[in-house]
């Protein structure tokens, strides 16, 4: 039977073909990639075929992403790869268009990704939507007032999940993780031992130690630090500071205006190690509107026309109405501006204001509703601690 051009891998041979393609595309180890893919057997891999050959593929994670205080169903795209000798011929665009249509049919609201090729994703309606900034600082710069901290045990898993949800759900962009991403966060290896500690006042830290030979010194890679209050934050920072005799530096992803920043920053310079940008695609407009939270108690009415060539189900004139913080979205409405899908994504995540979108060419037409659009989509600066 002839297989469709796009779909899930048909058995182990195609799975291995995609693993080989991804390993070559990312200079990775093929066997390691195959082992990693075994976690995705329940459907998170897609391939594109030419005849009987697998020529492109990607994997995805089904999770949720917090916006406005609610977890919105999202599908994160990763490890997009096209056979090197076939690049430049439109295969990635074809693959991504099929992937988007499938996600839309599946009722997925949002699709975040980390772009290695922004132009490619932008041409399909993704736009920059938030950041992931890793800071690097000296343990000696941390406050060292010790607090109530204990090693985490297996019994703390529910506590960790609860603290995570309470801390991240009030931000825009962080994930409500799927099991694969939780597993990856907690993974330990002989060359990368990982540890977890609980702050009794409400917080936890997960970190790994990376040796920096020669000598005995190491770097602390904080995988996650969650603190619901100041005593918990300072207790966890003091735990890290306590390693300063043998630890040369600490790397940690923080929110744009993270409460930890004043404690780790010795002066006006923010010691940034890496700043990544992630992109977002609104895949299913009505799911995205229904799924997220909105400014508390706000009432507003805005009309706009969405130009979505790739996903026509989203295209056309819409009216978004908020009544005391509850949203409804209806077809139709006059006098509103025109939004590109990328403009919608950057607005939705609270990354860009209508004025910035006009400068980017992602919003055009009448300006009369710009102030209402800005108010409706206003929120904390979007960020995402996870990399996938
Ligand atoms: C990036 C990649 C997926 C593109 O695949 P492709 O089939 O060559 O892409 P297409 O031919 O469909 O190109 C579509 C658009 O993507 C952009 N693009 C393609 N390759 C690109 C690259 N290497 N860098 C930046 N942009 C690129 C171009 O804007 C192109 O449109 P244009 O030709 O009208 O300018 C492929 O080069 C690849 O597998 N690279 C290695 C892995 C990787 O970087 N994956 C992306 C991770 S997010």
Summarised one tens digit per residue, pLDDT across range 26-51 is 999 999 888 888 877 668 999 999 99
Summarised one tens digit per residue, pLDDT across range 279-302 is 999 999 999 999 999 999 999 999
Separation of 343 CA from ligand 1 center, angstroms?
22
Element of type H or E holding 221: strand 218-227
Q: Which residues contact 269 (CB under 8 A, 6 or more apart)?
A: none
Please tell me the predicted confidence (pLDDT) of residue 267.
Answer: 85
Q: What CATH superfamily classification does 280-376 receive?
A: SCP2 sterol-binding domain (3.30.1050.10)
CA-nearest residue, atom 37 of ligand 1: 87
Q: With the C-alpha atoms ordered 291, 297, 299, 303, is the resulting torsion angle positive or negative? A: negative
- The CATH architecture of the domain made up of 6-108 is 3-Layer(aba) Sandwich (3.40)
The total number of residues written for the chain in this structure: 388
Biggest CA-to-CA distance, the chain = 69
**Protein residues whose CB sits closer than 6 Å to any atom of ligand 1:** 25, 80-82, 87-93, 115-117, 119-120, 123
d(CA 275, CA 345): 20
Residue with tokens 């917090």: 66
Q: What CATH superfamily classification does 133-277 receive?
A: Gcn5-related N-acetyltransferase (GNAT) (3.40.630.30)
Asked if residue 7 has pLDDT above 90, the reply is: yes
d(CA 35, CA 188): 16
Beta bridge pairs of residue 151: 197
Summarised one tens digit per residue, pLDDT across range 152-208 is 999 999 999 999 999 999 999 999 999 999 999 999 998 999 999 999 999 999 999
Pocket-testing residue among 23, 80, 111, 117, ligand 1, by greatest number of atoms within 8 A of Cβ? 117
Asked if residue 374 has pLDDT above 90, the reply is: yes
Separation of 117 CA from ligand 1 center, angstroms?
6
Pocket-testing residue among 77, 83, 86, 87, ligand 1, by greatest number of atoms within 8 A of Cβ? 87
Pocket-testing residue among 120, 125, 278, ligand 1, by greatest number of atoms within 8 A of Cβ? 120
Please tell me the predicted confidence (pLDDT) of residue 41.
Answer: 67
pTM of the model: 0.96
Domain with CATH 3.40.630.30 in the chain: 6-108, 133-277
Domain with CATH 3.30.1050.10 in the chain: 280-376
Both structure tokens of 292: 């997220």
Cβ pair 55, 91 in contact under 8 A: yes
Summarised one tens digit per residue, pLDDT across range 248-264 is 999 999 999 999 999 98
Burial class for 199, CB neighbours closer than 10 Å (0-12, 13-18, 19+): buried
Burial class for 104, CB neighbours closer than 10 Å (0-12, 13-18, 19+): buried
Q: With the C-alpha atoms ordered 49, 106, 117, 388, is the resulting torsion angle positive or negative? A: negative
Asked if residue 317 has pLDDT above 90, the reply is: yes
* Average pLDDT of every residue of the chain: 95
Please tell me the predicted confidence (pLDDT) of residue 270.
Answer: 81
Q: What is the CA radius of gyration of the chain?
A: 22
Please tell me the predicted confidence (pLDDT) of residue 305.
Answer: 98
Please tell me the predicted confidence (pLDDT) of residue 269.
Answer: 85
CA-nearest residue, atom 33 of ligand 1: 88
β pairing state of 70-82 and 110-113: parallel
Separation of 88 CA from ligand 1 center, angstroms?
7
Q: Ligand 1, residue 114: give the atom nearest the CA.
A: 48
């Amino acid at each position: 039977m002839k297989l469709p051009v796009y779909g899930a891998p048909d058995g182990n041979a195609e799975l291995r073909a995609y693993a080989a393609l991804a390993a070559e595309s990312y200079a990775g180890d093929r066997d390691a990639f195959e082992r990693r893919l075994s976690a995705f057997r329940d459907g998170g891999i897609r391939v594109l075929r030419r005849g009987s050959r697998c020529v492109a593929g990607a994997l995805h994670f089904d999770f949720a992403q917090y916006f406005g205080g609610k977890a919105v169903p999202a599908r994160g795209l990763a490890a997009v790869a096209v056979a090197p000798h076939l690049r430049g011929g439109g295969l990635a665009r074809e693959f991504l268009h099929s992937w988007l249509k499938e996600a839309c049919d599946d009722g997925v609201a949002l699709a975040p990704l980390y772009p290695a090729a922004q132009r490619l994703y932008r041409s399909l309606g993704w736009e920059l939507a938030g950041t992931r900034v890793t800071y690097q600082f000296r343990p000696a710069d941390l406050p060292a007032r010790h607090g109530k901290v204990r090693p985490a045990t297996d019994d703390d898993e529910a506590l960790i999940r609860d603290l995570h949800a309470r801390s991240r759900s009030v931000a825009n962009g962080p994930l409500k993780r799927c099991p694969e991403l939780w597993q990856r966060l907690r993974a330990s290896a002989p060359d990368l031992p990982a540890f977890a500690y609980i702050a009794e006042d409400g917080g936890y830290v997960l970190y790994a130690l990376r040796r920096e030979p020669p000598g005995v010194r190491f770097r602390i890679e904080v995988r996650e630090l969650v603190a619901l209050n100041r005593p918990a934050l300072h207790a966890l920072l003091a735990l890290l500071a306590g390693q300063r005799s043998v630890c040369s530096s600490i790397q940690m992803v923080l929110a744009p205006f993270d409460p930890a920043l004043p404690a780790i920053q010795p002066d006006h310079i923010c010691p940034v190690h890496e700043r990544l940008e992630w992109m977002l695609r609104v895949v299913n407009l009505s799911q995205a509107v229904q799924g997220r939270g909105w400014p508390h108690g706000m009432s507003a009415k805005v009309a706009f026309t969405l130009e979505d060539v790739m996903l026509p189900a989203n295209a056309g004139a819409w009216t978004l109405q908020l009544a005391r913080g509850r949203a409804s979205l209806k077809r139709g409405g006059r006098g509103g501006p025109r939004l590109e899908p990328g403009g919608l994504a950057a607005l939705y995540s609270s990354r860009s204001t209508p004025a910035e979108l006009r400068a980017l060419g992602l919003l055009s037409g009448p300006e009369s509703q710009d102030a209402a659009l800005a108010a409706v989509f206003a929120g904390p600066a979007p960020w995402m601690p996870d990399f996938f």
